[in-house]
């Protein structure tokens, strides 16, 4: 048996698909830019829970990410004393199959199950069934549990050093965007007590701080130093604005590095009332000054405040969104369909209220009673939870018996909502360009030198890159309303920043050409036929000096052969970058060196804009 190393793994492929045939791992395609036609972003992500575990124990670890069955069997057969599986509820059928294989082929192995699959597994099965598959169902914060199990110090700080990066881009530009989104977890859990929230129940209705404000910003600086392609840090927290002192304290650390401010920002989580109350206390401009570039906001429903959800009682969500957008802060708005108060007389009013918020990105889901939550227990008592397969336990689950709406209606309404947002405001990348231009104007007028002299450069570069899709968005706008919005946004760019440079104009035509080619292909062979699949990767965490003192604390092994199309795309964009350099050199028209340098490097690196 291998005793000096543990094995951590995600579920094995194949993965089930979501109700609209979307990929479980493509967050931008399945929700945040869903419904944007060819402008939908395709993205890749990683299993950060396992990376955090591997970084925070003294024992070495092997981490399997998206293994195929043969890869999993090969590793299990080596005989690890401990195997940990991190998963979500849709994977539980497969997870139990994995556990059966471990029990049969490595009977002395201790099996641990964590993340939200553990919460659901514990709620659904009795003790005997749990023990049949798993030795420890780890519900709650996993680092403390694993350190305690291994007999290690529980109180040392939690590391989250330079974990693998996410990335996204429109399908027609590239199916293989590089990673440009870093990831940290500042805190887990929430005292808010929303009955539908898995995280609230998972962590005992309280917040567990993983990074102090100083540690959080230090991690951002580390990404900037070692992964210069990173444009955004995705900071997981249930609601940053529920903890205003924590958030405000980050300001002094954030403003100490202007170069970081010029190149990236970070995504926070917040609720409408808590964002408003933070702004009342510290000022709206403070939100921008602490580096927040985007906020995931749970709107939930226009009527949520009337029905006991305290985070939605004080202010109109539309006002909060508008104020954030005026400072260049992008929004990821979340709306939920299928509340007990939803009926045929108010559902469209509610949906249109959300559309009126003008979210930059969006998440429209059904109210889903996840096993283990307060909502699940309540609906079980009312005999209103359908027995659905594990693969259907997710944000679009049809497991709830609605009081007023048919099950198919709630799914159709979320699909309609995505379509309505696209046909009202255009694709998310157009909305992002509009909000980014607001940010440039806000910074240009700011009295804060960090914002005026440094953050303005960030917005200027981002806006220039987004502008290169303007002709494609004009050609393939879903209607005249959106086409006019595209043209007004173009006018806004020229008014605030100036005429596009020669390489921007050339790149815009190349982008339109790629969009045209993809659109024709998509008519005959829709890209939705091919849900995104992640490649298998293996990460080695050695706790000797060979890796421990390096900035990146793991070695990455990629057993999956890279497709020729991926190699060709890389070559194609390197050539395009060289061509853009030549255009800049020989063009007689006025140029902007900073913008051109940024765009050329972006094309060369395939570093396209996600959130």
Q: Indicate if 218 and 333 belong to the same structural domain.
A: yes
Overall domain count for the chain: 3
Q: Per the confidence metrics, is the pTM higher than 0.95? A: yes
Distance of alpha carbon 565 from alpha carbon 571, whole angstroms? 10
- State residue 393's pLDDT score: 97
For residue 129, name the pLDDT band (cuts at 50, 70, 90): very high
Q: Indicate if 207 and 119 belong to the same structural domain.
A: no
Q: Indicate if 549 and 574 belong to the same structural domain.
A: no
Is 437 among the domain residues?
no
Is 594 among the domain residues?
yes
Q: Indicate if 88 and 220 belong to the same structural domain.
A: no
Is 125 among the domain residues?
yes
Q: Indicate if 202 and 316 belong to the same structural domain.
A: yes
Is 404 among the domain residues?
no
- State residue 556's pLDDT score: 97
- State residue 201's pLDDT score: 95
For residue 311, name the pLDDT band (cuts at 50, 70, 90): confident
551-563 confidence digits (pLDDT tens): 999 999 999 888 9
Q: Indicate if 414 and 450 belong to the same structural domain.
A: no
Q: Indicate if 543 and 576 belong to the same structural domain.
A: no
Q: Indicate if 125 and 207 belong to the same structural domain.
A: no
Which contacts (CB < 8 Å, 24+ apart) does range 303-309 have? 303/339, 303/341, 303/346, 303/350, 304/339, 306/341, 307/339, 307/340, 307/341, 309/194
379-392 confidence digits (pLDDT tens): 999 999 999 999 99
Distance of alpha carbon 34 from alpha carbon 303, whole angstroms? 24
**Number of Cβ atoms within 10 Å of the Cβ of 569:** 17
506-540 confidence digits (pLDDT tens): 999 999 999 999 999 999 999 999 999 999 999 99
| Segment 243-253 mean pLDDT | 93
- State residue 560's pLDDT score: 87
166-197 confidence digits (pLDDT tens): 999 999 999 888 999 999 999 999 998 899 99
Q: Indicate if 540 and 582 belong to the same structural domain.
A: no
Distance of alpha carbon 135 from alpha carbon 150, whole angstroms? 15
**Rg of the chain, C-alpha, whole Å:** 24
Sign (positive or negative) of CA dihedral 40, 43, 48, 50: positive
Is 388 among the domain residues?
no
- State residue 270's pLDDT score: 97
Is 147 among the domain residues?
yes
- What is the token pair recorded at 207? 């917040």
- State residue 313's pLDDT score: 81
Q: Indicate if 219 and 124 belong to the same structural domain.
A: no
Is 600 among the domain residues?
yes
Q: Indicate if 111 and 201 belong to the same structural domain.
A: no
The dihedral region occupied by 189, where left means phi > 0, alpha psi between -120 and 50, and beta the remainder, is left
Tell me the residue range of the domain where 208 lies.
Answer: 180-365+409-421
Sign (positive or negative) of CA dihedral 131, 134, 136, 142: negative
Distance of alpha carbon 18 from alpha carbon 29, whole angstroms? 11
Distance of alpha carbon 468 from alpha carbon 459, whole angstroms? 15
Q: Indicate if 299 and 200 belong to the same structural domain.
A: yes
């Amino acid at each position: 048996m291998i005793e000096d190393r543990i094995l951590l793994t995600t579920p094995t492929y194949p993965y089930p698909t979501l109700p609209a045939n979307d990929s479980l791992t493509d967050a931008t395609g399945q929700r945040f830019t869903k419904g944007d036609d060819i402008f939908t972003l395709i993205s890749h992500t990683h299993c950060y829970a396992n990376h955090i575990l591997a970084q925070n124990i003294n024992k070495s670890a092997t981490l399997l990410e998206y293994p195929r069955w043969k890869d999993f069997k090969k590793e299990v057969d080596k005989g690890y004393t401990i195997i940990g599986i991190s998963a979500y509820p849709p994977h539980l059928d497969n997870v139990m199959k994995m556990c059966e294989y471990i029990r049969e082929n490595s009977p002395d192995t201790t099996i641990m199950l964590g993340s939200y699959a553990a919460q659901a597994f514990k709620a659904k099965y009795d003790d005997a069934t749990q023990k049949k598959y798993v030795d420890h169902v780890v519900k709650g914060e996993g680092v403390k549990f694993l350190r305690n199990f291994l007999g290690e110090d529980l109180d040392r700080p939690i590391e989250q050093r330079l974990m693998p990066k996410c990335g996204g881009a429109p399908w027609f530009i590239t199916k293989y965007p590089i990673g440009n989104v870093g990831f940290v977890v500042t805190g887990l859990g929430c005292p808010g007590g929303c009955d539908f929230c898995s995280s609230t129940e998972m962590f005992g209705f309280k917040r567990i701080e993983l990074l102090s404000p100083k540690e959080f910003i230090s991690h951002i600086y580390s990404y900037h130093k070692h992964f210069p392609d990173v444009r955004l840090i995705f900071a997981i927290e249930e609601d940053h604005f529920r903890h205003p002192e924590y958030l405000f304290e980050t300001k002094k650390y954030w403003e100490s590095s202007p170069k970081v401010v010029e190149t990236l920002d970070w995504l926070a989580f917040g609720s409408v009332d808590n964002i408003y109350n933070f702004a009342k206390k510290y000022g709206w401009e403070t939100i921008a000054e602490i580096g927040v570039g985007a906020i995931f906001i749970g709107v939930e429903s226009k009527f949520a405040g009337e029905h006991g959800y305290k985070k939605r009682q004080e202010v109109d969500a539309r006002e909060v969104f508008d104020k954030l957008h005026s400072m260049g802060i992008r929004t990821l708005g979340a709306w939920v369909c299928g509340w007990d108060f939803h009926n045929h007389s108010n559902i469209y009013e509610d949906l249109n209220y959300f559309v009126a918020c003008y979210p930059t990105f969006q998440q429209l889901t059904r109210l889903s009673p996840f096993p283990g939550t307060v909502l699940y227990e309540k609906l079980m008592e009312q005999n209103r939870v359908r027995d659905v397969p594990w693969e259907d336990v997710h944000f679009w689950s049809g497991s709830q018996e609605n009081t007023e709406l048919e099950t198919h209606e709630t799914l159709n309404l979320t699909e309609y909502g995505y379509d309505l947002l696209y046909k009202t405001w255009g694709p998310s990348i157009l909305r992002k360009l509009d909000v980014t231009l607001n940010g440039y104007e806000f910074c240009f007028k700011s009295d804060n030198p960090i914002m005026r002299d440094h953050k303005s450069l960030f917005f200027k570069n981002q806006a220039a890159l987004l502008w290169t899709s303007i002709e494609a968005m004009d050609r393939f706008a879903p209607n005249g309303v959106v086409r006019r919005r595209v043209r007004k946004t173009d006018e806004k760019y020229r008014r605030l920043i100036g005429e596009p440079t020669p390489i921007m104009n050339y790149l815009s035509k190349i982008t339109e050409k790629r969009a045209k080619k993809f659109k024709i292909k998509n008519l005959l062979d829709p890209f939705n036929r091919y849900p995104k699949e992640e490649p298998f990767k293996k990460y080695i965490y050695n706790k000797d000096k060979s890796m421990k003192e390096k900035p990146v604390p793991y070695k990455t092994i990629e057993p999956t052969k890279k497709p020729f199309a991926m190699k060709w795309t890389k070559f194609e964009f390197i050539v395009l970058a060289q061509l853009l350099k030549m255009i800049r050199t020989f063009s007689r028209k006025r140029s902007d060196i900073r913008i051109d340098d940024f765009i050329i490097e972006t094309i060369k690196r395939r570093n396209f804009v996600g959130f």
